[in-house]
Chains A and B, each alone.
Chain A
Amino acid sequence: MIALEPVTVTSRRRRIPMPRWGGREGMAGWIILGVLVLVALLAPVLAPHSTEAIDGSRIFGAPDWSHPFGSDDLGRDVFSRVLYAYRASLSIAIGSVLLAMAVGIPIGLIAGYAGGWTDLVLMRAVDLLLAFPALLLAISLIAILGPGGLVALLAIAIIYVPIMARVVRSSVLVVRNQPYVLGARARGASHWAIVRGHVLPNAIGPALVQASVLMAFAIIIEAALSFLGLGAQPPTPELGLMLAEGNNYLTQAPWVEIFPGLAIALSVLAFNLIGDGLRRSFDPGQLAR
């Protein structure tokens, strides 16, 4: 018998650097989002004018130093309104996705891990929701509950629940057949311990990537709902609503339209960059520590 010689790897304490924040792009996304959230929170301090102050002398006033984004049809300061509008847009985008995750992730986990009839019943229920076109579903809900920011949030969350559930389920299906899960079972670990310790941490990655992409879409859906007059109601400053209003004056005062549009684009960009970063850091080749 050959003597057991412990194989020592020459003490390489050096860790492989991990793109913890998703590398350069992810980092850029987080920074932009951070600034936007800060702007939304500090809107009362940063805004040079009131969002509802009507200035008859500045109707369609062009951008200048005291009104960097110009003024709209009622002479209101577009810059101040954009700052406040981020509050509604970001909280609806983030809130709807968090709500969808809170409901969708457990559904996907249970369906994927339990399998069999549980999976069948849960997934057919989810398919039912998935069968409706997203906007139609939102519009019908608003028709029932009446328009408003909170209803929009709820509507978007309902659209997202099946998507989150499906994404989580599909990654759970992969993880639950991994030998480390089978082995944990054979070693006597409870289902709860396995789901919490092995399945959820290893299956959550794609769901987080999906969540960031869905947040970007949520901003657009929410803007679309407001554009259709089904989201936040005037005179609340809201990006989609401002687009809808500015649309009429595009040739006279393009800034009324352009700046809210850019504001939407910037937040969507931030979420997409974060999504790309997350995708990278969950790449199996370079698993985050």
Chain B
Amino acid sequence: MTATEAPLLEVRGVVKTFPAGGLLHRRVVHAVDGVDLHVRRGEVLSLVGESGSGKSTLGRCIAGMSAPDSGSILFDGQDVAALDRAGRVEFRRRVQPVFQDPRASLDPRWPIARTIAEPLVANGMGAAAARDARVAELMSLVGLPRHLADRRPRELSGGQQQRVAIAAALALEPELLVADEPVSALDVSVQAQILNLLAELRERLGLALLFIAHDLGVVEYLSDRVAVMYLGRVVETGTVDDIFEQPQHPYTRALIDAIPHPDPQRRMTTARLAGEIPSPIAPPSGCHYHTRCPWAVDRCSVERPGQTPFGPTHEAACFVAAEHPFPPRTSVTLQKGTL
């Protein structure tokens, strides 16, 4: 994984809007407002933000489930929007979604073996016997005991259901999984199991992962890099170390501060996140975050900040940090791997 290698997925200036409001006041929600991102082969990029930050919408665009209004998504160097029919089939095989609610992502009437085999059947892969063998292989890959094959989703625990959903997503041997909050509907103890599974699958299969989450604690364990989104824009990207050791955007600092910590004294107390995320129908001017930012200056409410580099892998969109970079977070020592 060298930095010079062409990324597996590249997102360039993607915008996605939805119509909002009544008939008279026709307005749009900028769910995703000009996002640039990339994911390298075998890399885990986490997309983090509060509800309404547009991370799920971006994930849906990347997984090919909705089309961006403008901007482009390049997979393996090819513009996804320009693919022909065969190309789209191929793209669908290589990029697979995993959803938040494992229960809803499985047909309640289908035995799980049928759900796992569905992509194979749909793509006409293998005879029935070969498919059965592949299903068994996938089940053991995700740690599902064989005797569950004939069970309905309702008979499984949430963690097992998510394992089934992951197995189905892996059936076509994708190169990129787009996992939209795959653990946030699960019990904390089960979350760790699924995260371990994803980490191991990534190692074993060389899978790239776009991991969408609202919880930085979960992200730190799994990711290579992190992108923080706020109201449809990426405010900071960097490696896990960049983000967790030297967060530059005040929003990132607030999110990190929100990770529960046993010692409340050891926090960057100045960055407390107050209030609600503003409405995406009428987002604040300039830097969207200025209404909640304790460091905001006049310029923040006027101009949209561009990305300022803070290191070879690290950039953030903040006027204040660009002039006086925030110090590393020495005050807080979160152990890696704690959830």
| Chain A interface residues (CB < 8 Å from chain B) | 1-2, 4-9, 11, 178-180, 182-190, 193, 197-198, 201-202, 284, 287, 289
Contacts and interface: CB of A to CB of B under 8 A. Distances in A.
A5 B110 CA distance: 25
Contacts of B143: 4-7
22 contacts: A1-B196, A2-B192, A4-B143, A6-B140, A6-B144, A8-B145, A9-B148, A9-B160, A11-B147, A182-B99, A184-B118, A185-B65, A186-B96, A187-B168, A187-B169, A188-B89, A188-B92, A189-B122, A201-B109, A284-B108, A287-B109, A289-B152
B108 A188 contact: no
A1 B152 CA distance: 30
Given A186-B96, A188-B172, A189-B118, A4 B104 contact: no
A202 B108 CA distance: 8
Given A6-B144, A6-B145, A7-B193, A180 B96 contact: no
B123 interface: yes
Contacts of A183: 97, 99, 105, 165, 168-169
Contacts of B241: none
B184 interface: no
B253 to A, nearest CB: 29
Contacts of A190: 122
B199 interface: yes
B157 interface: yes
A184 B122 contact: yes
A187 B144 contact: no
B122 A186 contact: no
| Chain A contact residues: helix, strand, loop or mixed | loop
Interface string B123-160: 10000000000000000100111011000101011011
Nearest to B178: A186
A11 B146 CA distance: 11
A14 to B, nearest CB: 10
A4 B166 CA distance: 15
Interface residues of B, number: 48
B199 to A, nearest CB: 6
B168 A287 contact: no
Given A6-B143, A180-B115, A188-B92, 8 more contacts: A7-B159, A9-B157, A9-B160, A179-B99, A187-B122, A187-B171, A188-B172, A197-B118
B152 to A, nearest CB: 7
B157 to A, nearest CB: 7
B159 A179 contact: no
A187 B105 CA distance: 12
B150 to A, nearest CB: 11
A250 to B, nearest CB: 52
A183 B63 CA distance: 10
Contacts of B121: 189, 193
B106 interface: yes
Contacts of A187: 92, 96, 118-119, 122-123, 168-169, 171-172
B122 A182 contact: no
B148 to A, nearest CB: 8
Contacts of B69: none
B71 interface: no
Nearest to A175: B107
Name, among B156, B193, B197, the residue most crowded by chain A CB atoms within 10 Å (CB to CB): B193
B292 interface: no
B36 interface: no
B199 A1 contact: yes
A20 to B, nearest CB: 14
A238 B56 CA distance: 61
A190 B124 CA distance: 11
A4 to B, nearest CB: 5
Contacts of A1: 196, 199-200, 203
B245 interface: no
Interface string B294-314: 000000000000000000000
Contacts of B160: 7, 9
Contacts of A8: 145
A186 B108 contact: no
Nearest to B148: A9
Nearest to B201: A4
Nearest to B104: A179
A186 B199 contact: no
B196 A2 contact: yes
A287 B93 CA distance: 32
A179 B169 CA distance: 12
Contacts of B122: 184, 187-190, 193
Contacts of B63: 186
